[in-house]
Structure 1
Amino acid sequence: MKILFVGKINLDYNRVRVLINGLKKREDVEVRSYEFKKRSSFDKAHFLELEKDVDYIYVPPFRHQDIKLIKKYTSKPIIFDPLISKFMTKVIDYGHFWKAPIKYWLDFIPFHRADILLTDTLLHKKYFSKTFFISEDKIKVLPIGVDTTDFNHKKVLKFRDNVFKVGFYGSFIPLQGVDVIIDSAILLKDVKDIKFELIGDGVFYEKIKSKIAKHKLTNVLLKGWVKYEELNIEIAKYDICLGIFGKSFKTDIVIPNKVWHYAAMGKCIITKDTPGIKEVFTDNKNIVLIPNTAKALAETIFYLKSDFDKIDSVGVKAAEVIQTKYTEEHIADIFINAIK
């Protein structure tokens, strides 16, 4: 089988990295790619040369606007992997309701023009189907999974010392619920041996930074962005890793990249109790699920600090989930079986 990846392809983006690396490990699949930065630089002749004998064309996440252009020049089945709904993100998540009509059509049109639509969870599939009037048969669930050459529990060294480290990485957007994390740090500010480290930035970064300064929090360190290849080193240092705690609908139906990475590295994860997360993980077995409140998070962190046996047990079982079902090889298998 020959698959052509087309569009503004960020090979470092987790979804694409996992899928391509998994496919490249199969002897029955050839992966090709054609990247163009903008539609005006699209080389029709070069594209036609690449696509003439492929079986499928894959359009990577966030490239909604590329579907129309690619569809114009090929009759090959197009697999679109949007990962997000622009309508859900901007209108529901951010509350930009005045953008509703345009954002809806920016999803609706490419979703219908694609031959196969991918989603990361079953709940996301149901949302796409119901909201955009798409047959569920057309939508295939492909979990995010993990590239275990980068994130692997076997590479983790124990870094435990006298400080109990609680780690998070992500963008400071509504989905993440970073404000809940900071509020829990406020509740725990007098517990001297608990420290929070937050990697990333985003629209709420300055607001979070101001809140830390206002409450004179010495137990929170904002580290800014860290290179992808250094993320595993940072995660390895944490005793507990934090997922997402947002209040939006999107929070309830996705499993973010960070949770996959934490699990692959055998870390005990605390995250919001959602139906989406339960499609893969089980509370108090391979993850710790809580209400998305600062009080619940602070209490859970404080409790786990005195129970390293549970921390280790949950982490080991989280890694087992990845190793048995969600490595890059597993994701490639699911992908091939879904599109055949």
Structure 2
Amino acid sequence: MRICYFGTYDPVYTRNRLMIQGLKENGVEIIECRVKQTRHRLKKYLELVNLHRKIKKNGNYDIMVVGFAGHAIMPLAWILAGLNGKKVILDLFVSEYDSVILDRKAYSKYSLQALKFWAMDRLACVLADLCLLDADEHINYFAGFFKIKKSKFKTILLSVDQNIFYPEERTDETKFVVHYHGSYSPIQGVKYIVKAAELLKNHTDIIFNIIGKESNHQKEINMSRELRLKNINFLGYMTYEKLADTIRNSDVVLGMFGDTEKALHCSAYKIIEGFACRKPVVTGDTPALREIVKDKENGLFCRMADPRDLADKIMVLKNDPDLRNKIAESGYQFCQKYLTPKATAGNLLSVINQMLK
């Protein structure tokens, strides 16, 4: 099978990189029709048209997949695939409206910008033959909010690069290390991690490591300074390889805790990266995360936006090494079975085969 991977997507971004890797591992030939997002809009579109024309001349393809984030480029993909008599799949992954308007609150939900993002999301879904999301709960959100049939969507779980994220014995066990990595966005709820660290400040053997661009965590850094916390480190941006090392040298991996609408229907890479490194995960309890996390089996839930409950769950794992090891092993086995790039892309390939019949 030959798939045209189309758009202005970032090939290094985890979702795109692992989806392409997984498809290749399933024997699919990937033909990339991609230009950089930074190019001038008209020039970008013309380059994509020319690249697509060359692909048609050199053996064509069976189906088109628009890589993330492809919301804005979807009309062009629909035209080119339609003229070529091919179906098009959009790796939707997230709602731009949800991210920009509801989660980050960059504009009022009554503004023209909000209307633009809503219309872009909905049009992209309408034009695609199939849209991919990361959780069934995410499908429920899209179908309800954008008034689109659920049959337009398919859940393809997140996957993890097991060449980078893999288990290994800790090299330093002098402290009980609680690990978080990710962005500053409200969905992550980093401020609740800082507050949990404050609640546990008298446990001098517990240390919190927060990894991500420090400029993005400035509010949380300032909060930590105001609270005079000595049990929390802001470590800054790391390569994936260095990040995986820090996970392996931790005792607990944290997920997301923000009390936002988006948090209810999205999954999180940090959770499955913890699984892959055979570490116990504590995360907020949401409908979407219940699809991959089973409480006290392969993870531990706490209440969203509740630093006291988060601190309590950290202490549960600290004081119960048997539970810690059981959860870590169960998460690792779940990851090995369902969350490899080959496994998740294999699910997509099965869907594509049905579409092409």
**Shorter-chain TM band:** over 0.9
After TM superposition, list the pairs within 5 Å mapping 1:15-30 onto structure 2. Answer: 15-27=15-27, 29-30=28-29
Q: Structure 1 residue 57 and structure 2 residue 64: aligned?
A: yes
Partner of 2:96: 86
Partner of 1:328: 341
Q: Please give the alpha-carbon distance, in whole angstroms, between the structure 2 residues aligned to 1:304 and 1:41.
A: 51
Q: Please give the alpha-carbon distance, in whole angstroms, between the structure 1 residues aligned to 2:162 and 2:53.
A: 34
Partner SS for 2:207: strand
After TM superposition, list the pairs within 5 Å mapping 1:1-340 onto structure 2. Answer: 1-27=1-27, 29-37=28-36, 38=39, 39=41, 40-42=43-45, 43=47, 44-51=49-56, 53-75=60-82, 76-95=86-105, 96=107, 97=109, 98=111, 99-153=113-167, 156-201=168-213, 205-292=217-304, 293-340=306-353
What are the superposed Cα offsets for residues 240-288 of structure 1, whole Å, 9 maximum, x if unpaired? 0000001012111111111111111111000001111111221001000
**1:100 positional shift:** 2.6
**1:74 positional shift:** 2.7
Q: Report the aligned-residue RMSD.
A: 1.6
**1:230 positional shift:** 2.3
Percent identity over paired residues? 28
Partner SS for 1:73: helix
Partner SS for 1:106: helix
**1:62 positional shift:** 1.9
**1:202 positional shift:** 7.3
Structure 1 residues 203 and 245, CA, compared in 2 at 3 Å: closer, same or farther? farther
Q: Please give the alpha-carbon distance, in whole angstroms, between the structure 2 residues aligned to 1:325 and 1:70.
A: 30
Q: Please give the alpha-carbon distance, in whole angstroms, between the structure 2 residues aligned to 1:230 and 1:4.
A: 33
Partner SS for 2:4: strand
TM-score, length of structure 2 as denominator length? 0.90
**1:34 positional shift:** 2.1
Partner SS for 1:74: helix
* Aligned partners of 2:189 and 2:258 also within 8 Å: yes
**1:336 positional shift:** 0.7
* Aligned partners of 1:177 and 1:247 also within 8 Å: yes
* Aligned partners of 1:79 and 1:115 also within 8 Å: yes
Q: Please give the alpha-carbon distance, in whole angstroms, between the structure 2 residues aligned to 1:79 and 1:229.
A: 31
Partner SS for 2:209: strand
Runs of 5+ consecutive residues of structure 2 not aligned to the other structure: none
Structure 1 residues 161 and 109, CA, compared in 2 at 3 Å: closer, same or farther? same
Structure 1 residues 306 and 107, CA, compared in 2 at 3 Å: closer, same or farther? same
Structure 1 residues 54 and 121, CA, compared in 2 at 3 Å: closer, same or farther? same
Structure 1 counterpart of 2:21, one-letter code: N
Runs of 4+ in 1 over 4 A off after TM superposition: none
Q: How many residues align?
A: 337
Structure 2 counterpart of 1:86, one-letter code: E
Structure 1 residues 204 and 13, CA, compared in 2 at 3 Å: closer, same or farther? closer
Q: Please give the alpha-carbon distance, in whole angstroms, between the structure 1 residues aligned to 2:216 and 2:259.
A: 15
TM-score, length of structure 1 as denominator length? 0.95
